[in-house]
Structure formats: structure tokens, C-alpha cells
């Protein structure tokens, strides 16, 4: 067991978040009307058990975080040293924009944009190639699913 | 003998050009939808239903069955290569299979899953042919009490999927259980943990959670931490085929996986996920290479893959003999029967022998086609890994978002997908395993409902779990699973102590 | 812009190839109208089958030019209902598959919008509920079941679909009719009709409830005994006594039909009623009914509107009596 000098803030935060979630589950459960019927067990029992379990796990992990860090962590300090924040933001933007645009602009345009942003997030430096592939792929997927399977995907700006 | 004759005449039906072709289309389409994350066989068959209303029923049903077991074949591919399960039944495959791929052994992983699927599918079809009536009688003996006991066994054995740290594994399991609480309580119709959002009343879709955790979470993680100039994911090392040692380590898990999967397919509410957990746990216990588990043990791919395919053939047994659908896909195939004015059940074997036996015979052929289709494809799939990373992950996200959106054409599911993706990202960053989340999400609601159903039937009497013979037996097995390894360890330690005391003298 | 042209061209090419593959049904020359049918459930279920059957029948009779089916699943159909009301107001081409299950889901899920907000067009099909026991059960008829219930209400377990669904409503009505307290019967909810079938066949529950078609095969094969059907009078193809014959004054039909968007003009509504009526009287529709073993329950226009209003009242009272709506 390697003991680190400082407590990892991320580990502690996650542990506390689990604790809080457990507390929330137990709290919310009190708002569920208890109707046992003939089984003597109503809709509250399992949420109570699960909320308690979450709280215990959170406590356990918080204790670990404060006493030398979470146990049996793989050695990934090198991997986590320099996160590529731009990549993260670009991909997130891609997914969120896709969500916002799909209804209005349609599946093909939204997916094309998603593809291009994700590729860019992975450091692609060939935007023209990305756009071309994205357009072909999303158009193909669109027609495959709407025409061959009858699934409805929004046509958006291309639709009448 | 009678069965054999019926089966032979079934082959005559299945081998007509039309039915062969439809079977081929079915398994190919099934492989394709199995590979795509978020697009499953249930959705595919449902969408094809109206288009095939004018087809000859035998041909259409051969195609639908092909889509079903073809999807089970194909679902493992993205699990192994991209750590993104194509189907919920291949979550376990993603754990060992993807580790194998990361060590450059994608080829053998894909091969053992394809051959294991073939072995399991074929044995499953043989069982379907010869033991249907008997197995169905046993399946009907399962009431809520029996199911709950099986869930207890499953919970005990899932410790095998918790990963390197029990604290983090359990935390992940409880996160899954919590997600499983969301939605209407089916016994009382009350909303729980929906925060007033109507979209949450049906609970979270397992596909959205799996795709979010794996595909979106993985994409974010790889882009943020692992994307350093290397343009492709994992290059192949060594042969893409299975070595002699791989065969030696695979064949027993194939057979054991089949033994888990088939019975689970037969029982209503059994599903394909639980037997894959059980198979994984068993292989981990029995393997001589148990240290390799978590780092890419081939047994951990071979067993669960056989289990999920065997369960697919098992599912058809109650469907054909009783008209009893045990999975979502089976329910839709049942709708397909009804579309042609056919009612599956005991009478169908008498009134439509050609159709039934043609369908069963087509499954033998379909499994061979699938093997012939998938083994050469191993080489092609492995090449997927040489697609430049930006394009590969961008493509995955297009399919992932489409699958989530297609459920009900709502942006809400896309928001959910991203939210769960963020959760997956954080979990990955802090080495919290994601598989237990899905285990909790699958087992939690099932066990709660069965527990309460059992107690409703027994009017609150807890002894129902030990007075029913099957339930009691399952619980006894569970106790053995817990106690025996501990007792064994104790005996070994006492022996070691004894030797330790003796040796200095 | 260039890639869009390429995309569109490719789309055209793909469309041609796929149209052949897709067997999408003949496109007609007669230009009638465009319709969108919202199916408030996932592909494969009862609403979906109805919506797609209507789509096919409208097209087969050249009553519509283009009919699009759109699945918006969730919360017993109330998500789809809300979407129709919020986004299609005044749209004469927007239809929705609906039915009795949605009436009760609206109350149970405390949906802010109800069927009072939409424009009823036609009831099309219906299914009667049936009560079944395993062949080995000592219960031979409703009188036996009533006696068993009166002897010990808790010991009689009624298996059916999810809480507040049509099966529980049926059971609740029967319990009320035989003098029991509606909230006091041992109802066990299962996930699907298939699970109910298995539990009844295995003898794990006393009695099972479900749509007649779900159990028809097993009843014919003699593995299940049907105690009663909820039809008002004997149904030709169903050889099962009704509840009324056995002295229990309960009728129940799980109907399905078509609703239109709110805020459409009377002219638009009359046009839709006319079109759907024409469709429902066509041979193509009759063939669909026969193939799916659906019971024809055509009711249109004002009569249907009043029917839906009455249904809402009875179902609301029932879910309250059953204690399904809390606070």
C-alpha cells in the first residue's frame, strides 16, 4: 500500500457525492406512500435498503480517501497528468448541439455536426475529409432507417 | 424417431431457395443490428413487421428468428473491439474481451466468441428439438419465489464482476440499483424518484444507460486522457486466429456457458443477462488462469458468449410450445405469429408442423451460416481498429445518439445519454468499474418485484422462499457458493498451520 | 454547400435502391392528404399495431397520399398525448392511436393533459378481458371464485398486468360487483401478458386476467379454463360464458381508436371522421381485423366523443376506489 502525502480531492468529492446521494434516496423514500397490500412489504423497503447501502459505500470510500487514498488504484498518474480539455469540450459540445439541433435541423445535419466535432475533439486536422465522411454516413444511416425500417427520424431543414 | 422424421421434413422446408435466402438475410441483418450499439433485434423485428405482412409466414418467421440469434452473434463484436456493448447481454463480454483486444488479442477473442456462439446455438437448437415439452414443464414451476431465489444467487455471484476494489465495485452496484429505482412501482403504480419528470416514469432504458456509460463515457475518456498522437487503437499482435492453448481454454467454458444460458432462456423473466453473469463468475472460479481475469482471460469471453446465444435458443422453446414470450424480442416474434393469424402453443405443432419444423431446421442452417459469415469477418472487424481514431469514435457516437433518440424521438433521451456519459467518464477516471452499474440496474428491479409478488401470494409469509422445493434448492446452492470457498480456505490455512508447527521440529 | 448536394444526390440514389428493398407499399397517384399518426408506445405493442394497420389501410384505399407513423413511447401513452397536444394544435393531419389504457394512465401518472384535450375521431377495435385458471384448478366458474374470495379475500391472488392497467381495473370492477371492497383484493402485477400466462399455467396464482387473444391458444388446448369473459353478450367465436350470464353485472372492453389534435375546425374534424369511417368500412380493414382477430367496434364522431367523456368519468372513479391515485 502506497501512502500518499495528500488526499486526492476528486476521490473525496466522489465519496461525499455518494454519501449525499444515499441521504437523498432515504429522504425521498419517506415521500412514497406506503401501501403494503397483502405482501406486508411496500414500495419503501428496497429504496431504504439501497439508500443505506449507498451511504455505507460513500462512508467507506471517504474513509479510504482520507487514510491514504482509495485502495488498489491502478498506476495511471502518467495518463491523468495532462488532460486534453479541448477534446473533452469539443465532444461535449458535439453531443449537446446534436441534442439541441436534431428537432429543428434534422437528423442528417445534426449528426454531421456531431461527427465533425468529435473528430476534431480527437485531433483530426482534415475538416474537409471529416465533413464529407460525416455527410455520407449520416445520410446513409438516415435513409437506411427511415426507408428500409420505417423508423422515423426528423428530416428537419431537408423536409418539406 | 418421430421427432427425427419431423425434423427431416423441416429441413426440406428450410432448404428451399426462398427460405434459405430469407434466413440468410435475417442472420446478416441480425449481425448488423447486433453490432450497432443501441439498435437491437426487438426494434428491428418490430419495424419490419408491417413490411412483411404479405410474406409467406414460414419465410418471415425464419427471417425474424435469424435476426434474433444473429444479433446475439454480432453483439459481442463492438464489446470486444470498442468496449461498447451492442446488446445488454454482451456487457460481460466487454470486460474480458476488450482487455484481450487491448493486449492485441482481438482476433482470438472474436473467434472464441463466434465459435462459442455457434456451439451454444447448435446445442441449444438440439435441445429445442428434443426436450421441449419436458423443459417447458420445469420452466412453469418457476413462480415469483423461485425467481427471487435465483436473483439472490445472481447477486452473490456478481462479486466476480466487482473488479479490483470491493468498495468501488459495491459503490458501482449501488449506483445501478439506485438508477433501477427510478420510475413507476409496478405493484402500486406509484412514481418513485422521478422528480416530477414524466419521461422518467418508465424508468431509464437499459440501452441508454449501457450506451451512455460505455460508448459516450469511453469516448470522452479516450479523447481526454489517451489521445496522444497514436492514431489507431490497438494493433494486432500475433495471430488473429486462436492458438492451440486458446482452444484448450475455450471449449469447457463454451459448454458450461450453454448449460447456464439455455435454461434461463426458457424461464419467463430469465433473460440473457443473468446467465452471462453466472457464467463469468463460474469461469473465474474454475479457471487455472484466474489471475488473468480482469486483464483479458479468454474463458471470460468464451463462457458468457456461449451463455447468451444458448439463451436465445432457449427463449424459442416456451414461445413455440406455449406461446409464452420470455424476452422483448420474443414478444415481438409472438406478435409476428399473430399477424399471420397463428397462435403459438401446443396446438401449433399439430396444425402447422411444416412451419414449426421448418423454423427449427432453419436454426441449424442459420448457425452454420453465421459461423461461416463471422469467422472470415474476424479479419475485417479487426481492421476496424485501424480506422483513424477521430473517425471511429465519431462514427460510434452517431450510432449511439441515433439509438437513444429513436426510442421515442425525444431530446430528453439524448440529454440523459450525455449525463450518463459524464458519469461513465468520472467512473472511468477514478477506476470505478461500470459493469456492476448495469448488473444492479438489471437485477435490482427484477428482484424487488419478484420479492413483493412472492410475498403477496404468500400473504406476507417469508417462509415461502424455503418451503417451495425449487426455491429452497437454489437458496441452498447460494449458501454453498458462499460457504464452501471460505471453509476451503480455512481448512487450507489450518493445514498450513499444522505443517508450519511440525516442520521446525 | 457542396457536400449537401453530394449528400442529397446520394440520398436520392440510396432511396431508389432501398425503396425496392423496403416493400414500403405502393405509392398512389390519387392525391388525398398527408397524415401523421402518433403511436404513443414502442414498436410492436397494441397501439403500434393499430397505428400501422390504419396507415396500411388508409394507403390501400387511396384515402391518403402519405401516412407517417411516429412512435413516442412512455408512461402508458401520456408522453405521446402531451406531445400531440403541445405541438400539433389545429393540425388537421395529426392523428394519434389511443385507447382505454391511456384513459387510466392519465390519472395514475397525474398527467397534466387528458383525453378531454384532444378531438376524438373513431373507436375502431376492442378486446374483451378474460379470467382464466389452470385446468387443474378446483374453481370451475365464477360462483366458485366468488365463494373463494368471500371465504378469504387475501388467499385469492389475481394476476394481471402493471398496476392501474386494464387488468386491474377489470378485477376491481368484479370485486365491487360481488360486494367486496374495491381496494381490498390481492392483485399481483406482472410485467407482461406472457408472464401472467406462465404464472397461471404454473399454478402460482389463483386467477389470471388478460386480453382474450393472449390466452386463446391455451384455452383451446385445454390447459387453461376460462371462467368468464367481460363481453356484454356471448361472442360468436368465443365459447366462454359472460360475467353477466353468471350474475355479475360487469362489462369491460379494452377499446382502441383514433384521436385528432386539439383545436381543429369542425370541417377538419368532419373530414377526418369521414375518411376514417370510409377506411373502417373497407375490405382491406375487414381483412386486417380478421387476420389479427380484432373485434370490430366502430363508433365515430359525437357518439364517440360522449363515449370517451363517460369512460373518463368511470375510470377516474374506479382508480380512486382502487386507491391507485395518492394524494
* Structural domains for chain C: 17-126+256-321 (3.40.190.150), 127-246 (3.40.190.10)
d(CA B422, CA B216): 8
Q: State the first-to-last Cα distance of chain A, in angstroms, to the nearest integer.
A: 65
CA–CA min distance B375, chain C (Å): 27
Does residue B426 sit at the A interface (CB-CB below 8 Å)?
Answer: yes
How many Cβ atoms sit within 10 Å of the Cβ of residue B385? 18
Secondary structure of residue B228 in the 3-state scheme: coil
- The answer to whether A95 touches A64, Cβ cutoff 8 Å, is no
| Domain ranges for chain A | 9-80, 85-158
d(CA B432, CA B439): 14
Secondary structure of residue C238 in the 3-state scheme: coil
Q: Chain A residue with minimal CA distance to B445?
A: A46
Return the C-alpha cell found at B494: 489450518
- Spatial neighbors of C257 by CB under 8 A, at least 6 apart, are C97, C98, C99, C120, C121, C122, C123, C124, C125, C299, C304
Task: Give the model's pLDDT for residue B171.
Answer: 95
Of the partner residues B224, B398, B460, the one whose CB lies closest to the CB of residue A40: B460
Cβ distance of B409 and C194 shorter than 8 Å: no
| Domain ranges for chain B | 2-467
DSSP states along B248-279: HHHHHHHHHHHHHHHHHHHSTTTTTHHHHHHH
pTM over 0.95: no
Weakest-pLDDT range from B376-385, C89-98, C218-227, C273-282: B376-385
Q: Tens digits of per-residue pLDDT, B125-175?
A: 999 888 876 777 777 888 899 889 988 888 887 776 777 788 999 999 999
How many Cβ atoms sit within 10 Å of the Cβ of residue B329? 28
- Residue C280 pLDDT > 80, yes or no? yes
Cβ distance of C43 and B47 shorter than 8 Å: yes
Chain A interface, Cβ < 8 Å to C: 33, 35, 37-38, 108, 131-132, 135-136, 138-140, 142-144, 147-150, 152, 158
Cβ distance of B401 and A137 shorter than 8 Å: no
* Residue indicated by cell numbers 452454420: B368
Does residue B277 sit at the C interface (CB-CB below 8 Å)?
Answer: no
Of the partner residues B50, B394, B453, the one whose CB lies closest to the CB of residue A119: B394
Q: Chain A residue with minimal CA distance to C154?
A: A38
Q: Number of helices (H) and strands (E) in chain B: give both, helices first.
A: 21, 2
Secondary structure of residue C237 in the 3-state scheme: coil
Given pLDDT bands bounded at 50, 70 and 90, which one contains residue B228?
A: low
CA–CA min distance C266, chain B (Å): 30
Task: Give the model's pLDDT for residue B411.
Answer: 87
CA–CA min distance C44, chain B (Å): 5
- Residue B231 pLDDT > 90, yes or no? no
Task: Give the model's pLDDT for residue B407.
Answer: 67
Given pLDDT bands bounded at 50, 70 and 90, which one contains residue B497?
A: confident
Does residue B343 sit at the C interface (CB-CB below 8 Å)?
Answer: yes
**Complex ipTM tops 0.95:** no
Task: Give the model's pLDDT for residue B130.
Answer: 86
Pick the more confident residue, B79 or B1: B79
- Chains B, C: CB contacts under 8 A, how many? 164
**Best B28, B42, B50 residue to mutate vs chain C (most C CBs within 10 Å):** B50
Q: Tens digits of per-residue pLDDT, C152-179?
A: 999 999 999 888 889 999 999 999 999 8
Cβ distance of A50 and B174 shorter than 8 Å: yes
Amino acid at each position: 500500500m502506497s501512502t500518499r502525502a495528500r488526499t486526492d480531492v476528486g476521490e473525496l468529492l466522489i465519496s461525499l457525492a455518494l454519501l449525499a446521494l444515499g441521504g437523498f434516496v432515504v429522504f425521498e423514500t419517506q415521500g412514497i406512500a406506503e401501501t403494503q397490500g397483502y405482501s406486508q412489504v411496500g414500495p419503501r423497503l428496497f429504496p431504504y435498503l439501497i439508500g443505506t447501502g449507498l451511504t455505507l459505500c460513500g462512508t467507506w470510500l471517504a474513509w479510504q480517501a482520507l487514510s491514504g487514498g482509495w485502495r488498489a488504484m491502478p498506476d495511471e498518474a502518467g495518463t491523468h497528468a495532462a488532460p486534453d480539455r479541448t477534446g473533452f469540450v469539443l465532444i461535449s459540445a458535439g453531443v449537446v448541439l446534436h441534442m439541441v439541433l436534431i428537432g429543428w435541423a434534422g437528423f442528417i445535419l445534426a449528426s454531421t455536426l456531431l461527427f465533425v466535432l468529435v473528430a476534431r475533439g480527437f485531433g483530426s486536422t482534415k475538416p474537409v475529409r471529416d465533413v464529407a465522411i460525416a455527410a455520407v454516413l449520416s445520410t446513409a444511416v438516415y435513409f437506411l432507417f427511415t426507408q428500409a425500417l420505417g423508423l422515423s427520424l426528423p428530416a428537419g431543414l431537408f423536409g418539406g | 424417431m418421430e421427432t427425427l422424421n419431423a425434423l427431416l421434413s423441416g429441413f426440406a422446408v428450410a432448404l428451399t431457395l426462398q427460405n434459405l435466402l430469407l434466413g440468410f438475410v435475417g442472420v446478416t441483418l441480425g449481425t448488423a443490428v447486433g453490432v450497432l450499439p443501441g439498435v437491437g433485434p426487438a426494434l428491428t423485428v418490430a419495424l419490419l413487421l408491417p413490411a412483411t405482412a404479405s410474406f409467406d409466414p414460414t419465410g418471415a418467421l425464419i427471417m425474424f428468428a435469424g435476426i434474433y440469434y444473429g444479433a446475439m452473434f454480432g453483439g459481442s463484436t463492438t464489446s470486444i473491439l470498442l468496449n461498447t456493448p451492442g446488446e445488454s447481454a454482451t456487457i460481460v463480454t466487454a470486460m474480458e474481451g476488450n482487455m484481450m483486444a487491448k493486449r492485441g488479442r482481438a482476433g482470438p477473442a472474436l473467434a472464441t466468441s463466434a465459435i462459442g456462439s455457434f456451439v451454444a446455438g447448435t446445442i441449444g437448437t438440439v435441445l429445442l428439438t428434443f426436450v421441449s415439452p419436458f423443459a417447458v414443464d420445469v420452466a412453469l414451476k418457476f413462480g415469483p419465489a423461485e425467481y427471487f431465489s435465483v436473483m439472490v444467487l445472481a447477486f452473490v455471484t456478481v462479486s466476480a464482476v466487482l473488479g479490483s476494489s470491493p468498495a468501488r465495485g459495491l459503490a458501482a452496484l449501488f449506483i445501478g440499483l439506485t438508477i433501477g429505482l427510478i420510475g413507476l412501482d409496478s405493484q402500486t403504480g406509484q412514481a418513485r424518484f422521478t422528480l416530477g419528470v414524466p419521461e422518467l416514469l418508465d424508468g431509464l432504458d437499459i440501452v441508454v444507460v449501457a450506451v451512455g456509460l460505455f460508448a459516450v463515457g469511453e469516448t470522452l475518456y479516450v479523447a481526454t486522457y489517451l489521445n496522444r498522437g497514436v492514431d489507431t487503437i490497438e494493433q494486432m499482435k500475433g495471430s488473429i486466429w486462436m492458438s492451440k492453448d486458446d482452444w484448450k481454454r475455450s471449449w469447457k467454458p463454451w459448454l458450461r456457458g450453454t448449460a447456464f444460458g439455455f435454461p434461463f432462456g426458457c424461464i419467463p423473466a430469465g433473460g440473457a443477462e443473468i446467465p452471462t453473469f453466472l457464467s463469468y463468475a463460474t469461469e473465474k472460479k474454475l479457471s487455472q488462469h484466474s489471475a488473468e481475469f480482469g486483464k483479458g482471460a479468454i474463458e471470460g469471453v468464451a463462457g458468457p458468449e456461449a451463455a447468451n446465444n444458448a439463451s436465445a435458443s432457449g427463449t424459442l422453446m416456451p414461445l413455440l410450445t406455449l406461446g409464452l414470450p420470455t424476452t422483448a424480442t420474443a414478444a415481438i416474434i409472438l406478435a409476428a405469429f399473430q399477424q399471420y393469424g397463428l397462435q403459438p402453443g401446443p396446438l401449433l405443432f399439430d396444425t402447422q408442423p411444416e412451419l414449426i419444423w421448418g423454423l427449427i431446421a432453419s436454426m441449424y442452417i442459420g448457425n452454420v451460416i453465421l459461423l461461416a459469415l463471422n469467422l472470415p469477418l474476424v479479419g475485417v472487424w479487426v481492421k476496424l481498429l485501424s480506422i483513424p481514431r477521430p473517425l471511429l469514435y465519431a462514427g460510434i457516437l452517431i450510432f449511439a445518439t441515433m439509438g437513444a433518440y429513436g426510442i421515442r424521438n425525444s431530446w430528453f433521451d439524448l440529454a440523459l445519454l450525455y449525463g450518463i456519459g459524464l458519469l461513465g467518464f468520472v467512473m472511468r477516471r477514478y477506476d470505478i468499474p461500470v459493469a456492476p452499474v448495469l448488473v444492479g440496474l438489471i437485477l435490482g428491479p427484477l428482484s424487488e418485484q419478484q420479492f413483493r409478488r412472492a410475498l403477496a401470494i404468500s400473504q406476507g409469509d417469508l417462509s415461502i422462499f424455503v418451503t417451495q422445493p425449487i426455491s429452497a434448492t437454489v437458496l441452498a446452492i447460494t449458501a454453498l457458493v458462499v460457504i464452501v470457498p471460505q471453509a476451503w480456505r480455512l481448512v487450507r490455512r489450518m493445514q498450513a498451520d499444522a505443517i508450519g508447527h511440525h516442520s521446525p521440529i | 454547400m457542396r457536400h449537401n448536394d453530394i449528400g442529397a444526390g446520394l440520398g436520392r440514389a440510396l432511396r431508389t435502391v432501398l425503396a425496392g428493398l423496403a416493400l414500403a407499399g405502393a405509392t398512389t397517384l390519387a392525391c388525398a392528404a398527408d397524415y401523421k399518426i402518433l403511436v404513443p408506445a414502442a414498436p410492436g405493442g397494441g397501439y403500434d399495431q393499430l397505428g400501422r394497420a390504419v396507415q396500411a389501410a388508409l394507403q390501400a384505399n387511396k384515402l391518403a397520399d402519405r401516412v407517417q407513423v411516429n412512435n413516442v413511447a412512455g408512461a402508458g401513452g401520456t408522453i405521446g398525448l402531451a406531445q400531440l397536444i403541445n405541438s400539433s394544435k389545429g393540425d388537421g393531419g395529426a392523428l394519434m392511436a389511443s385507447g382505454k389504457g391511456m384513459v387510466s394512465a392519465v390519472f395514475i401518472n397525474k398527467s397534466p393533459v387528458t383525453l378531454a384535450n384532444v378531438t376524438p375521431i373513431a373507436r375502431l377495435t376492442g378486446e374483451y378481458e378474460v379470467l382464466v385458471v389452470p385446468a387443474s384448478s378446483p374453481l370451475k366458474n365464477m360462483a366458485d371464485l366468488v365463494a373463494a374470495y368471500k371465504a378469504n379475500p387475501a388467499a385469492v391472488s389475481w394476476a394481471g398486468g402493471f398496476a392501474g392497467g386494464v387488468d386491474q381495473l377489470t378485477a376491481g370492477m368484479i370485486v365491487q360487483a360481488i360486494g367486496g371492497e374495491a381496494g381490498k383484493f390481492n392483485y399481483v402485477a406482472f410485467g407482461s401478458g406472457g408472464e401472467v400466462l406462465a404464472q397461471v399455467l404454473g399454478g402460482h396464482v389463483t386467477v389470471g386476467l388478460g386480453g382474450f387473444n393472449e390466452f386463446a391458444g391455451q384455452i383451446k388446448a385445454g390447459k387453461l379454463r376460462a371462467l368468464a369473459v367481460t363481453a356484454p353478450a356471448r361472442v360468436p367465436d368465443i365459447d366462454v360464458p359472460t360475467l353477466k350470464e353468471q350474475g355479475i353485472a360487469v362489462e369491460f372492453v379494452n377499446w382502441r381508436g383514433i384521436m385528432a389534435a386539439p383545436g381543429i375546425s369542425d370541417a377538419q374534424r368532419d373530414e377526418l371522421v369521414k375518411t376514417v369511417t370510409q377506411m373502417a368500412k373497407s375490405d382491406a380493414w375487414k381483412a386486417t381485423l380478421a387476420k389479427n382477430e380484432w373485434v370490430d367496434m366502430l363508433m365515430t364522431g359525437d357518439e364517440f366523443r360522449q363515449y370517451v367523456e363517460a369512460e373518463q368519468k368511470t375510470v377516474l372513479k374506479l382508480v380512486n376506489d382502487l386507491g391507485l391515485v395518492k394524494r
